[in-house]
């Protein structure tokens, strides 16, 4: 099926997801084979070995590439395997500039793994273009963005950052896990490579682990494919099957979850027990105007807030919710709550957490698909329990 001019939602269901020619099955089959029979020695058919390529993985990659407007995609065993693949393009002596408000695991990869290969890392506030300009060195080979940022929901002007990065000759990558292609398509804004933890919104049901890279130019795709195949961190066929299924409802889920998140952010912002709310959909958020420009269909379903209580009371909020489950991860139909300082961002050096505003009192919410009224009632009772 060639790619017609279909809308996002139609492409999510049909591109790369053709019915099975052999049986007529509406859903493409799950190919679990590790190896594929060849006709002649040294003459390779499309698939030869599942690390190098697998039909079920390819179906997911094809759909995702279409949704992100990329020339191609590569699916990985996890989001971290995908990010690591990008950093493996660098060499000893190179320098990475990364946003200050990034996932704790990405911070750990950059500071505790990449450094072993002689690659240096600087964190910079990518919402501040003057600071970003000044942070480049002649050795900077990669600018790594995350918008909305994690856990403070900072909004970087993606097109502006990409322009600055390219001016300095750097590859520009972005962790777009929070935004998903429903809300933002960074390749259209000039970024070279988009990373997703498919574990989150793409899977959407807390039942798979995966990552993906989507790329603008074939030459970069070739280099990344070579690295992926050589190092082997590929997505399993079963996870790819689930990820394809997740993509079909991504648009509906993300829009609806974003709507509920906005209502919760508004309710929290109006509550006297809450000191601060970080959500790009609120006009008070410093990145609101940029978010309005570069996000379509909502501002995402992640938000964080600080209570007026002390550290112990903050922890008690996280322990007192009943619908919001205390767990890391995000993006699924179930709502989750966590304390970044001790959970998702525990890998940050405490000094970096402090410097970049990730306080011990910060609580992060992943808003699921439950009804707003039930979720608000749950937060309300948890705040009352914890702060009284
Ligand atoms: C924003 C973000 N990026 C990347 C990752 C890493 O993804 P994975 O857990 O699939 O390796 C996570 C995981 O929590 C995340 O939240």
Cα 198 versus chain centre, distance: 7
Q: Are 213 and 76 in contact (CB under 8 A)?
A: yes
Q: Are 169 and 38 in contact (CB under 8 A)?
A: no
Minimum-distance ligand 1 atom for the alpha carbon of 102: 1
Give residue-wise pLDDT tens across range 23-77: 999 999 999 999 999 999 999 999 999 999 999 999 999 999 999 999 999 999 9
Give residue-wise pLDDT tens across range 74-88: 999 999 999 999 999
Which residue minimizes the CA distance to atom 9 of ligand 1?
79
Give the H/E segment covering residue 212.
strand 211-215
Catalytic residue among 94, 101, 157, 175: 175
Name the residue with tokens 């379509």: 296
Is the CB of 107 inside a 6 Å radius of any atom of ligand 1? no
Express as a percent the part of the chain with pLDDT over 90: 91
CATH number of 8-246: 3.40.640.10
Judge whether 8-246 and 251-387 match in fold.
Answer: no
Instruction: List the beta strands (DSSP E) in 24-107.
Output: 72-76, 95-99
Residue 311's Cβ-side half-sphere holds a number of Cα atoms within 13 Å equal to 5
Q: Which pLDDT score is estimated for 311?
A: 86
Residue 348: pLDDT band (50, 70, 90) is confident
Is the CB of 177 inside a 6 Å radius of any atom of ligand 1? yes
* Distance of alpha carbon 136 from alpha carbon 168, whole angstroms: 7
Give residue-wise pLDDT tens across range 302-323: 999 999 988 899 999 999 999 9
Residue 352: pLDDT band (50, 70, 90) is confident
Q: Which pLDDT score is estimated for 2?
A: 58
Give residue-wise pLDDT tens across range 12-30: 999 999 999 999 999 999 9
360 a catalytic residue: no
Q: Per CATH, the architecture of 251-387 is what?
A: Alpha-Beta Complex (3.90)
Is the CB of 239 inside a 6 Å radius of any atom of ligand 1? no
> Which of 102, 145, 177, 365 for mutating ligand 1's site (highest number of atoms within 8 Å of CB)?
177
Ligand 1 center to 48 CA (angstroms): 30
List the chain domain ranges. Answer: 8-246, 251-387
Which residue minimizes the CA distance to atom 14 of ligand 1?
329
Is the CB of 175 inside a 6 Å radius of any atom of ligand 1? yes
* Distance of alpha carbon 322 from alpha carbon 339, whole angstroms: 16
Query: CA Rg, the chain, in Å?
Result: 21
Is the CB of 211 inside a 6 Å radius of any atom of ligand 1? yes
- Nearest CA to 79 out of 119, 118, 116, 108 is that of 108
Ligand 1 center to 79 CA (angstroms): 5
Is the CB of 103 inside a 6 Å radius of any atom of ligand 1? yes
Cα 154 versus chain centre, distance: 14
What are the two backbone dihedrals, phi and then psi, of residue 89, each rounded to the nearest 5 degrees? -75, -15
Is the CB of 209 inside a 6 Å radius of any atom of ligand 1? yes
Minimum-distance ligand 1 atom for the alpha carbon of 209: 10
Q: What is the pTM of this model?
A: 0.97
Is the CB of 313 inside a 6 Å radius of any atom of ligand 1? no
Q: Which residue has the higher pLDDT, 356 or 133?
A: 133
Give residue-wise pLDDT tens across range 92-126: 999 999 999 899 999 999 999 999 999 999 999 99
Q: Are 210 and 199 in contact (CB under 8 A)?
A: yes
Ligand 1 center to 105 CA (angstroms): 7
Give residue-wise pLDDT tens across range 189-208: 999 999 999 999 999 999 99
Strands 72-76 and 302-307: unpaired
51 a catalytic residue: yes
Residue 349: pLDDT band (50, 70, 90) is confident
* Distance of alpha carbon 53 from alpha carbon 192, whole angstroms: 23
Is the CB of 157 inside a 6 Å radius of any atom of ligand 1? no
Tokens at residue 150, please?
């994690």
Catalytic residue among 11, 58, 101, 103: 103
Ligand 1 center to 180 CA (angstroms): 13
* DSSP string over 314-380: HHHHHHH-SSSEE-S---SSS-EEE-TTTTTTTTS-HHHHHHTT--TTEEEEE--SS-HHHHHHHHH
Decide if pLDDT at 1 tops 70: no
Decide if pLDDT at 344 tops 90: no
Average pLDDT in the chain:
96
200 a catalytic residue: yes
48 a catalytic residue: no
Is the CB of 105 inside a 6 Å radius of any atom of ligand 1? yes
Give the H/E segment covering residue 173.
strand 171-175
Which residue minimizes the CA distance to atom 16 of ligand 1?
103
Give residue-wise pLDDT tens across range 200-258: 999 999 999 999 999 999 999 999 999 999 999 999 999 999 999 999 999 999 999 99
């Amino acid at each position: 099926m060639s790619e017609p001019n279909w809308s996002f939602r139609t492409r999510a269901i049909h591109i790369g997801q053709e019915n099975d020619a052999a049986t007529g099955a509406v859903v493409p089959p799950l190919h679990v084979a590790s190896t594929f029979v060849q006709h002649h020695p040294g003459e390779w058919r499309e698939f030869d070995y599942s690390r190098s390529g697998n039909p079920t993985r390819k179906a997911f990659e094809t759909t995702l590439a279409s949704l992100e407007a990329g020339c191609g995609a590569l699916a990985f065993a996890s989001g971290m395997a995908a990010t690591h693949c990008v950093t493996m393009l660098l060499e000893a002596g190179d320098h990475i500039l990364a946003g200050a408000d990034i996932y704790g695991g990405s911070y750990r990869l950059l500071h505790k793994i990449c450094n072993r290969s002689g690659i240096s890392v600087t964190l910079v506030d990518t919402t501040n273009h003057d600071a970003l300009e000044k942070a480049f060195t002649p050795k900077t080979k990669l600018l790594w963005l995350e918008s909305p940022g994690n856990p403070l929901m900072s909004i970087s002007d993606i097109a502006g950052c990409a322009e600055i990065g390219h001016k300095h000759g750097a590859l520009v990558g972005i962790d777009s896990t929070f935004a998903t292609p429903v809300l933002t398509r960074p390749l259209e804004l000039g970024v070279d490579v988009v990373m997703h933890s498919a574990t989150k919104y793409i899977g959407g049901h807390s039942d798979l682990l995966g990552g993906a890279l989507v790329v603008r130019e074939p030459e970069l795709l070739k280099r990344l494919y070579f690295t992926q195949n050589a190092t082997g961190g590929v997505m399993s066929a079963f996870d790819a099957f689930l990820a394809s299924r997740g993509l079909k409802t991504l648009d509906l889920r993300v829009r609806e979850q974003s709507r509920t998140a906005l209502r919760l952010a508004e309710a929290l912002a109006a509550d006297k027990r809450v000191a601060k709310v970080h959500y790009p959909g609120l006009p008070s958020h410093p990145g609101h105007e940029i978010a309005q420009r570069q996000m379509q269909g909502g501002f995402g379903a992640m938000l964080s807030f600080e209570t007026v209580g002390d550290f112990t009371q903050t922890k008690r909020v996280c322990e007192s919710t009943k619908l919001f489950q205390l767990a890391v991860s995000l993006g699924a139909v179930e709502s989750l709550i966590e304390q970044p300082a001790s959970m998702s961002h525990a890998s940050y050096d405490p000094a970096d957490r402090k410097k970049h505003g990730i306080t011990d009192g910060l609580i992060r919410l992943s808003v699921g698909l439950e009804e707003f009224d039930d979720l608000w009632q749950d937060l309300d009772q948890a705040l009352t329990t914890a702060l009284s």
